[in-house]
């Protein structure tokens, strides 16, 4: 059972690069979704893999809608998820060890695992049956659980476990006699008697508590407590009847397989955390929607904003409309510093990724097909350029980007070639846009090379179906509006804006 993919096969997804995950701020979103280190790893693994097939995107989206629409479903799954984690700890290598271990501790652990398995299956089935779910994935999961719960053998597991538990519950405590050496080592256990009450200990022996922890699947300790080791033969002797019953029960129900549930742990964590994120945003008044995913490679977005701004609880966020079509896929983006260029680029990368993953999006609406891959070239730490220098490092990364680019790729450039001369940067930028135009890639080229926009008529003559569009981050009354508009760069306005911000206009300096 798979609630992440409707399709099958090893090539169902494209792996986002580490650079892209960082550059579009997907890591920041994941960190906001959970504070648990292990869960962050789970989310990063799932959210860095973009499904190729639109059917998988819609499949996930419908499951997210079910979680958001059914509060009771979310609550029940959240309660059960801890037990599924316990099953993971019982399974795998721990289970293989127990299969070759016939000690009392191993048998009781297997009995506990079987009980947790039964409780989880019933809990999940009841949760899914008690809600108005509509998604193909959860309906299929419910039917698979129904098949398990209606199986005659499964129905007999719970009564069998209860019988053994009732038998074991007669003994609520044990009184033991321990012979000690002069230096307080345990010599042997001389007597053991089960009683129907919990004896009160006169002494608090820490080693006994530590030894008891050794039997927990949450905390395996290699060195067993010597008192428990000495007691084990006596416990076996007094519990021989119960041990026989436990062995027979385990053999009787040997075909049960917890992997159906443990394999779903990561997927359920994914849907739970997405649900929590959606509800947080809604409670704070941020608009979200679900994209209308089609096979059309064009992409039209209305009311786009960057989820990072919502995570930071910013109000009065400026929204923008954006579209990628066959005729318009390459954009040269200019504007003042801190005018919103990088935030816009990240929002375009994030909305495509979130749509691919079946999540809601931070926009009023979106129609079309998310990009199959996101490639990025953002500035990196100077310390990482020691082998090639800045320009050499850029060249290495750009060659890789061009090699992977195709007509289903979004490429985000942020101040590329900014460390070389203006003339060299213009030359290099034109060559880069030339090859990407031929490949049919979608590109946002965020730059301070304003002369590049003046070359658009020349570049439009190159092979490729897309025109090249000049976009600017708007300035009104010498203030950033954070809105995009189609226009040639206004170099004097940008310079004036920066100068006023830092108090270095002629008038400001004269007054100062």
Per-residue confidence (pLDDT) for residue 291, from 0 to 100: 98
Check residue 35 and report its DSSP letter: -
Mean pLDDT of 385-407: 81
Per DSSP bridges, beta strands 365-368 and 299-304 are antiparallel
Across the beta sheet with 320-324, what order do the strands follow?
292-293, 365-368, 299-304, 320-324
Write out the two tokens for 179: 């012979």
Contact 34, 357 (CB under 8 A): no
39-63 mean pLDDT: 98
pLDDT tens digits, 300-328: 999 999 999 999 999 999 999 999 999 99
pLDDT digits (tens, 9 = 90+) for 19-37: 999 999 999 999 999 999 9
Tell me what percent of the residues of the chain surpass a pLDDT of 70. 79
Q: What is the mean pLDDT of residues 452-457?
A: 94
Lowest mean pLDDT among 149-153, 337-341, 389-393: 389-393
Three-state helix/strand/coil letters over 218-233: CCCCCCCCHHHHHHHH
pLDDT of residue 283: 96
State the chain's mean pLDDT as an integer.
Answer: 85
Phi, psi of 70 (to 5 degrees): -120, 95
| Predicted confidence band of residue 154 (pLDDT cuts 50, 70, 90) | confident
Asked if residue 223 has pLDDT above 60, the reply is no
Q: Which residue has the higher pLDDT, 500 or 348?
A: 348
Q: Is the predicted pLDDT of residue 85 greater than 80, yes or no?
A: yes
Strand 292-293, strand 365-368: pairing: parallel
| pLDDT reading at 102 higher than 80 | no
Q: For residue 161, how far is the Cα from the chain centroid?
A: 37
pLDDT in tens, 245-283: 777 776 766 677 788 888 999 999 999 999 999 999 999
Residue 213 confidence (pLDDT) above 50: no
Alpha-helical regions (H) of 284-388: 307-311, 341-356
The pLDDT of residue 196 is 63
Helix (H, G, I), strand (E, B) or coil at 14: strand
Q: So what's the pLDDT on residue 225?
A: 66
The pLDDT confidence band at residue 175, using thresholds 50, 70 and 90, is: confident
What angle, rounded to 10 degrees, do the helices at 104-129 and 71-90 form? 160
pLDDT at 316: 93
């Amino acid at each position: 059972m798979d609630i992440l993919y409707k399709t099958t096969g090893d090539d169902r997804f494209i792996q986002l690069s580490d650079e892209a995950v960082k550059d579009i701020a997907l890591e920041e979103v994941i960190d906001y979704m959970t504070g648990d280190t292990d869960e962050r790893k789970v989310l990063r693994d799932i959210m860095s893999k973009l499904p190729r097939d639109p059917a998988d995107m819609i499949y996930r989206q419908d499951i997210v809608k079910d979680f958001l629409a059914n509060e009771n479903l979310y609550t029940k799954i959240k309660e059960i998820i801890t037990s599924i984690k316990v099953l993971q700890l019982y399974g795998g290598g721990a289970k293989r060890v127990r299969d070759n271990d016939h000690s009392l501790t191993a048998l009781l652990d297997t009995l506990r695992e079987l009980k947790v398995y039964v409780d989880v299956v019933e809990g999940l089935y009841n949760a899914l049956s008690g809600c108005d779910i509509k998604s193909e994935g959860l309906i299929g999961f419910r039917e698979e659980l129904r098949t398990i719960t209606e199986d005659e053998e499964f129905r007999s597991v719970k009564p069998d476990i209860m019988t053994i538990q009732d038998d074991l519950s007669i003994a609520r405590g044990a009184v033991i006699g321990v012979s000690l050496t002069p230096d307080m080592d345990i010599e042997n256990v001389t007597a053991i008697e089960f009683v129907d009450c919990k004896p009160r200990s006169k002494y608090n022996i820490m080693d006994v508590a530590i030894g008891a922890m050794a039997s927990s699947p949450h905390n395996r300790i290699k060195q067993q407590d010597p008192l428990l080791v000495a007691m084990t033969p006596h416990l076996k002797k007094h519990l021989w009847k119960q041990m026989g019953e436990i062995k027979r029960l385990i053999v009787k129900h040997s075909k049960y397989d917890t992997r159906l549930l443990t394999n779903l742990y990561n997927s359920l964590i994914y849907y739970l955390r997405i649900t929590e994120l959606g509800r947080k945003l809604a409670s704070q008044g941020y608009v979200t929607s679900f994209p209308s995913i089609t096979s059309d490679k064009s992409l039209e977005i209305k009311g786009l904003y960057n989820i990072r701004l919502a995570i930071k609880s910013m109000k009065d966020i400026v929204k923008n409309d954006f579209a990628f079509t066959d005729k318009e896929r390459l954009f040269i983006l200019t504007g003042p510093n801190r005018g919103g260029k990088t935030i816009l680029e990240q929002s375009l990368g994030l909305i495509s990724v979130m749509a691919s993953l079946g999540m809601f999006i931070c926009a009023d609406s979106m129609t079309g097909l998310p990009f199959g891959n996101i490639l990025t070239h953002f500035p990196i730490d100077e310390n990482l350029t020691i082998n090639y220098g800045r320009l050499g490092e850029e060249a290495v990364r750009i060659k890789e980007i061009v090699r992977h680019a195709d007509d289903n790729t979004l490429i985000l450039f942020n101040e590329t070639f900014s460390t070389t001369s203006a003339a060299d940067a213009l030359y290099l930028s034109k060559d880069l846009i030339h090859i990407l135009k031929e490949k049919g890639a979608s590109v946002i080229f965020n730059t301070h090379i304003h002369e590049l926009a003046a070359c658009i008529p020349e570049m439009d003559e190159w092979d490729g179906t897309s025109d090249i569009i000049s976009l600017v981050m708007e300035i009104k009354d010498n203030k950033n509006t954070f809105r995009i508009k189609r226009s040639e760069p206004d170099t004097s306005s940008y310079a004036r804006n920066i100068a006023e911000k830092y108090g270095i206009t002629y008038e400001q300096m004269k007054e100062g």
